[in-house]
Structure 1
Amino acid sequence: MSLSLPLILLLGLAGALCVVMVVWGAYLATTKTQVAAEPETAAKAKKDDETFILHQITERLGRPFLRPVLEAVGEERRAGIQVRIDAAGRPEDLTVERYVSRKIGEVLLYGTLAVLLFMNGSTMFALIILAFTALTDYALYSEARKRQDQIQRQLPDFLDVLAVTVGAGLSFRQALARVSDSMPGVLASEFQTTLQQMDLGTSRRDAFTALRARNSNESLGRFVSALQQAEELGAPLAQTLMTISHDMRREDAQYLRRKAQKLNPQVTGITAVTMLPGLLLLIGGGLFLGSNIDFGGVLGG
Structure 2
Amino acid sequence: MSLSPSALIPIVMLAIAGVLAVPAIMAFVRSWKAKEDLERRLERRGSRPVPQETRNVSRIGRAVIGLGNRATPSNEEAVSAVRAKLLQAGFTNQAAVGRYYVARIACVVLPQIALLIALPHLGGVSKQTLLMVSIGLIIAGLLAPDMYVSRRAQALQQQCSAGFPDMMDLMVACVEAGLSLDASVQRVGEELELRHPNISEHMKKLSLELRAGKARRNAWRTFADRMGIEEASSLATMLRQAEEMGTSLGQTLRVFSADMRKRRILMAEEKAMALPAKLTLPLIIFVFPVLLGVLIMPAVVKMQGAL
Range into which the TM-score falls when normalised by the shorter chain: 0.5 to 0.7
Structure 2: which amino acid aligns with 1:162? Answer: M
Following superposition, the deviation at residue 217 of structure 1 comes to 1.5
Coordinate RMSD, CA, aligned: 4.3
Match of 2:250 in 1: 238
Please tell me whether the aligned partners of residues 113 and 126 of structure 1 are also in contact (alpha carbons under 8 angstroms): no
**1:90-169 alignment runs, 5 A limit:** 90=91, 95-110=96-111, 119-121=127-129, 129=137, 130-169=139-178
Distance 1:91 1:273 in 2: 46
Structure 2 unaligned spans of 5+: 7-12, 14-51, 120-124
Deviations for 1:111-135, whole angstroms, at most 9, x for unmatched residues?
5567978945157755764425422
Note closer, same or farther for the CA distance 1:68–1:167 as it changes in structure 2 (3 Å cut): closer
**SS in structure 1 at match of 2:56:** helix
Distance 2:115 2:303 in 1: 53
| Percentage identity across paired residues of the two chains | 23
**1:20-99 alignment runs, 5 A limit:** 40-41=56-57, 64=67, 67=70, 70-71=73-74, 74-90=75-91, 95-99=96-100
**1:220-259 alignment runs, 5 A limit:** 220-259=232-271
Following superposition, the deviation at residue 241 of structure 1 comes to 1.0
**1:182-221 alignment runs, 5 A limit:** 182-184=191-193, 185-221=197-233
Structure 2: which amino acid aligns with 1:209? Answer: R
TM-score of the aligned structures, taking structure 1 as reference length: 0.66
Note closer, same or farther for the CA distance 1:99–1:38 as it changes in structure 2 (3 Å cut): closer
Following superposition, the deviation at residue 268 of structure 1 comes to 3.8
Structure 2: which amino acid aligns with 1:101? Answer: V
Structure 2: which amino acid aligns with 1:70? Answer: P
**SS in structure 2 at match of 1:90:** coil
Distance 1:277 1:124 in 2: 40
Is residue 176 of structure 1 aligned with residue 185 of structure 2? yes
**SS in structure 1 at match of 2:73:** helix
Note closer, same or farther for the CA distance 1:106–1:177 as it changes in structure 2 (3 Å cut): same
**SS in structure 2 at match of 1:131:** helix
Deviations for 1:238-284, whole angstroms, at most 9, x for unmatched residues?
11111111111111222233344555554444454544665677678
TM-score of the aligned structures, taking structure 2 as reference length: 0.65
Following superposition, the deviation at residue 207 of structure 1 comes to 0.8
Structure 1 unaligned spans of 5+: 4-11, 13-35, 46-58, 294-301
